[in-house]
Amino acid sequence: MSNVLLVGIDGSEPGVRAAEFAAKVAHAKGADLLIAYVIEWSPYSFNTPEENEIRHKRREEEIETASSKLLTPLLNRLKSENIEIEGLVLHGHPAKTLNYIAKKRGASQIFVGRTGGSGITKLLFGSVASNLVQTAKIPVTVVP
């Protein structure tokens, strides 16, 4: 079994708590920690070449912003846990992308925060946490 734990963050306080909890588990198990931020993005669009160029530039700007404002501060905060930590920012459907990362990197567990969404959006789309619990091939820990 792999010695990598994956954390999906979304910029929320529950996401930070999930990362902090996973860091403690990683320290106790002697595991490495991979923290991923997935920017919701659909690959399906019908654009002109000029629009695709603008879209590509926007994607790169979003990755840079997420890395500098969310991921890097969190990685620096968790360095005191004395574990190997890596950060990753990707575009895609969050649950599908986290499952893909877990498989590709051989993660043994996924940690996510429960954001407690409500209303029509939750009814129509569900949550990343509930989607992962239903689709992941490895254990998923949902941190409140």
**pLDDT tens digits for range 90-111:** 999 999 999 999 999 999 999 9
Question: Rounded CA gap, 74 and 88, in Å?
Answer: 12
Nearest to 22 by CA among 132, 137, 84, 112: 112
Classify domain 4-143 at the CATH topology level: Rossmann fold (3.40.50)
Question: Rounded CA gap, 103 and 36, in Å?
Answer: 13
Q: What percent of the chain has pLDDT over 90?
A: 65
Looking at every residue in the chain, the average pLDDT score rounds to 87
Grouping H, G, I as helix, E, B as strand and the rest as coil, residue 107 is coil
* Res. 1: pLDDT tops 70: no
> What is the per-residue pLDDT for 44?
64
> What is the per-residue pLDDT for 21?
97
* Res. 125: pLDDT tops 50: no
pTM, to two decimals: 0.85
